[in-house]
A and B are shown apart, each in its own frame.
Chain A
Amino acid sequence: MSTKQGRMGWLFASPYLIYALVFFLIPLVWSLFLSFTDWNLISPTFSFVGIENYTEALKSPGVQSAFWVTFKFMAVFVPLVVASSIVVALIVQGLPRFKGLFLIGFFLPYLASGVVSSLIVKGLLSYNSPVNEFLRNAWGLDIDWLGSPFAALFVVAVIIAWKFTGYYALILTSGFESIGTEIYEAAMIDGVSPWQRFWKITFPLLYPALFTVLILSIGVTFGIFTEVYQLTGGGPNFATNTWQMEIFTRAFSNLQAGYASAIAIIASVVTFISIFIIRKLLEMWGKRNGWS
């Protein structure tokens, strides 16, 4: 490649590079700097506190809960959203017409405001809502949806799964469509049952799309905020306290920008390591199925 062509390449890549520099690299360096200070961003003075913010954060119940809560969300949200998006993709795949229209329909929740959907859910699950009145009267079920630790976590996971299902179904639909029909025809000739066809043919061949969906959905669990902020405030008793919630509380309610930055850096490291390990595990699984 000539030097001129190289320059043109850089020039065309520059909008994104500048964007990444302004919105990712500079904030990251700034955050790293802040994390070693006791600055609240508005005070004219501040002092360097070394690694004190980090040691304090690691001991804090809020940070510890954020760490575990993220993995709990992952355990509930990821299987839920992957299963539901596979189901939606399969349904759309089986439609004779208007596939695109249905996919758009399923995609719409992705565009919905997290605040609005959370408020609707809050109303639906209130103690005296028709849903709860029915559950109490018909089956004697009295569930404290947002007041008991697991139920609250489950409710938030379901809302986010509802939001992302259509988006992931789009990715999976393209995965389904990339599987050649001749493979299914050969399987039919060999007398493969629909169950076997799905697990032995479709599922392994869906790996590239599934890999993307799994990584994306795992990433989502590290960034949960709006639904938790609106519905539970991180409670009950830290049961839904996510990294973002903890960072927000520290930075904007307690005006501890330095300390919040340390939490953000810890969260980034945890996110990076977790996704790296999960990615390696998924790649190992892919290799076993012939994907290199």
Chain B
Amino acid sequence: MKMKKAASILFAASLTVAGLAACSTGNKEQSSGTDKNGVTTIEFWAAPNPTQQVYWKEVAEEFTKENPKIKVNVSPMKESPTSEASIQSAIAGGSAPTISENINRGFAAQLSESKALVALDELEGWDEVKESRNMTETMNGWEFADGHQYVLPIYSNAMLFGWRLDILKELGYNEPPKTYSEMLDVAEKLKAKYPDKYLWAKADLADPTAWKRWFDFFMLYDAASNGNKFVEGTKFTGEEKAGEQVLGLMDDLRKADALLTRQSKDPFESGLGIFVDVGPWTIPYWAEKFPELKFNETFTLAAPPVPDGMDTENVKTFADTKGLVIYASATKEQQKAAMTFINWVYSNPDNDLKWLEKTSLPPARDDLTTNDTFKAFFDKNPALQPYAAAVPNGIPPMDNSKYNDIQTFIGQHAFNPVVKGEKDPKTGWKDMQKAIEGALK
């Protein structure tokens, strides 16, 4: 009887322990820094993208061979359901890594405001990184409102627009339009010849989700305003004229029945639409999945169109750019080791070349088009050349901790209703400005 009771108690206790153990995330306890052998371990979270994970694993291994006193553990960043949410949970739960990539400027602003990031410019070795990687110019646009640098941009995807060159040629054009009136001419001719086709077929145009504005509104706005800052600190500084011109273009395209805001499968690839925002990551994807799309035959790439009368050279555009950050929760030794690792990676342009070869994402350096290290790559990949050339014209995302609200308001109050014909551009801009100013207070 006693045995039975004891067994029952043991069973119930085991169940409890097993249940709680099952709830464990399995994360190892974060290293406190340096072990007794003098080895400092740093945790590196790579973007949830297999090619980037492979890259970081390889460079981390090479680094540790040359620097046995620093061990870099590379693991993929979780996306549950987004990488930002995973980072937030990790910081809150005390399991943040030492260093991670895949951080955009807006999210970095949120994190830095919460004192979760280390100001990189305050760490020893920062100036050497900027110099050895040849990124001083690029970094100028990355300074945060408090004067510090919290992110080291790894790549800078100055976004371009893709045009279906084959269809443009059928309409009598040999190159993409550069101004709004030229674009509207194309739209008119397109609808006359192909009533079932659209100039821009993209469901996101009518979707208020904040990040979607980077790939429509901000590409056009950065071009129309010559890279004007939308928000500075707690002040709305958007340029009314440029904003209304962008919204006016969308309104005109809608009136010409040239916009399709319905969810559609491969609209550009199938020719349903002839204009689309394209990042460099799309080029290898097209080469694999749509081999019939040939650069400068079927499609071509161009800077965003600008309002009539503007200079069509060196047009600014939104740069989808992400980078590395070092977390404040890491120990001083780990932060120092992380900076040593960064210095080692970026002191050798071959590591950027390896990055380029693996990911096709242009490294954020000033000498991408002039450094011989990259010449052979771009000669082999002509469709990526326009991206390298556009790096100096890329405008990074705003560094405001309320970027999510601000960009949602752009969609909700201006861009989406104008695209749907529910508001005129002037009213849209005014409503949006009012909402943003309210949020910035």
A residues with CB within 8 A of B? 8, 11-12, 14-15, 18-19, 22-23, 40-44, 122-123, 125-129, 144-147, 229, 233, 235-237, 248, 251-255, 257
Contact = CB atoms under 8 A, between A and B. Distances in A.
Contacts of B210: 253
Contacts of B260: 127
Contacts of B405: 254
Nearest to A61: B412
Contact of A255 (B8, B81, B114, B115): B114
B84 A252 contact: yes
Contacts of B23: 22-23
Closest 4 CB pairs of A and B: A43-B114, A127-B264, A252-B85, A41-B92
Given A22-B20, A42-B88, A147-B203, A252 B265 contact: no
B263 A18 contact: no
B111 A42 contact: yes
B193 to A, nearest CB: 19
Contacts of B209: 233, 235
Contacts of A147: 203, 206, 261-263
Contacts of A125: 263
Given A122-B263, A129-B265, A255 B88 contact: yes
B39 interface: no
A82 to B, nearest CB: 29
17 contacts: A11-B8, A11-B9, A12-B12, A42-B111, A42-B114, A126-B265, A127-B201, A127-B260, A128-B264, A147-B203, A147-B262, A235-B207, A236-B207, A237-B208, A252-B82, A254-B404, A255-B401
B265 A41 contact: no
Contacts of B113: 43
B206 A128 contact: no
A230 to B, nearest CB: 9
A158 B172 CA distance: 47
Nearest to A18: B16
Contacts of B404: 253-254
Interface residues of B, number: 42
Contact of A127 (B12, B92, B116, B263): B263
Contacts of A236: 206-207
Given A11-B8, A43-B113, 10 more contacts: A8-B8, A11-B12, A15-B15, A40-B88, A122-B263, A129-B265, A147-B206, A235-B209, A253-B82, A255-B88
B238 interface: no
A67 to B, nearest CB: 19
Contacts of B181: none
Nearest to A46: B114
A22 B19 CA distance: 11
B270 to A, nearest CB: 7
B216 to A, nearest CB: 15
Given A42-B88, A147-B203, A255-B88, A127 B16 contact: no
B267 A252 contact: no
A6 to B, nearest CB: 14
> Which of B81, B260, B263, B265 has most chain A Cβ within 10 Å?
B263
Interface string B258-289: 00111111010010100000000000000000
